Chains A and B, each alone.
Chain A
């Protein structure tokens, strides 16, 4: 058996959109989940992938499932997603 390939994939997220929806500053979100405001910026920019624990904290804070906030593939724009949902029977 060969060596397991090192995973280097980026974790995409919707933090910036969710934060803007709730009119929160980075500092406010950072204070709410107990991290530095720079970390929120790094998460939004994709410079840092969160631990499972931090992902759960964000999920609880936004009251959304983790997969609604984080994904391994880039998210489609939210407007398009909501339109598709509305058109579905």
Chain B
């Protein structure tokens, strides 16, 4: 049948076009699905050490002293005093919080999760603007791939045979979870 031939051609070519974004969305989907268990954009390492003593120094000298004590050699971006006995030092990839009272120095080292962060950026539509419409087109393309896929094969493995049962199972799965968790 001619229409089935066209379905196959469109399914094939739209499928090729959708491959990149599907993989990106799949990566990000898993990453953000577990947002309560991990940070999907950054790996963050926190540690705290206690110094024996902290000398009384001017801010700039204090920054040098603290960085030397913890062996931090990164580029200093800025510093801030959130309280009279506290000092935050911002270094590339590290935030150092000093507490003069407790003599504790806390570090928060972070690194961007390459590929996953970029995937999340697109998947969660952070760019907005034109990307919103690209994502809309992609969503329509995915719907087309799903529906056209039903009619690509005829016979006992097609939608009138095995395909019908498999499709029904796929629809039933979210309904079961809706009944359990939603209603």
Do A and B pair up? The answer is no
